[in-house]
Amino acid sequence: MREGRQRLDKWLWFARFARTRTLAARLVDDGYVRVNGARCDNPAKALGLGDVVTVAAAHATMAVRVADLGSRRGPAEEARGLYEPISGEPG
């Protein structure tokens, strides 16, 4: 993957939108994730800073802007630093 890019499933897992990377990939495969407004069905799609990711999970639908790519799945506070909520949603 190019510098400054990260796989979508990996980023979703790092940002704690899914409990496991496998579940993150399944969210994408099942069509519950949009990137920059377009439905994405490829867990390997490359994300970059500033991309808008919309996740329609069972518990909530969130639209966020990618603020950082991350390097590990850390604590919740670290995960919240990977994105900025859009439309006034709490972060």
CATH number at residue 33: 3.10.290.10
Residue 91 lies in a domain: no
The CA distance from 19 to 52, in Å, is: 21
Q: 36-71: per-residue pLDDT in tens?
A: 999 999 999 999 999 999 999 777 899 999 999 999
Q: What is the CA radius of gyration of the chain?
A: 12
Residue 45 lies in a domain: yes
The whole-number average pLDDT for the span 23-34 is 96
Residue 90 lies in a domain: no
Residue 51 lies in a domain: yes
The CA distance from 70 to 80, in Å, is: 11
* pTM (2 d.p.): 0.89
Ordered strands of the 52-56 beta sheet: 38-39, 33-35, 52-56, 61-66, 83-85
Which residue(s) pair with 54 in the sheet?
Answer: 34, 63
Residue 41 lies in a domain: yes
Number of domain units in the chain: 1
The whole-number average pLDDT for the span 25-38 is 96
Determine the structural domain holding residue 80 and report its residue range: 5-85
Residue 72 lies in a domain: yes
Per-residue pLDDT, 89: 52
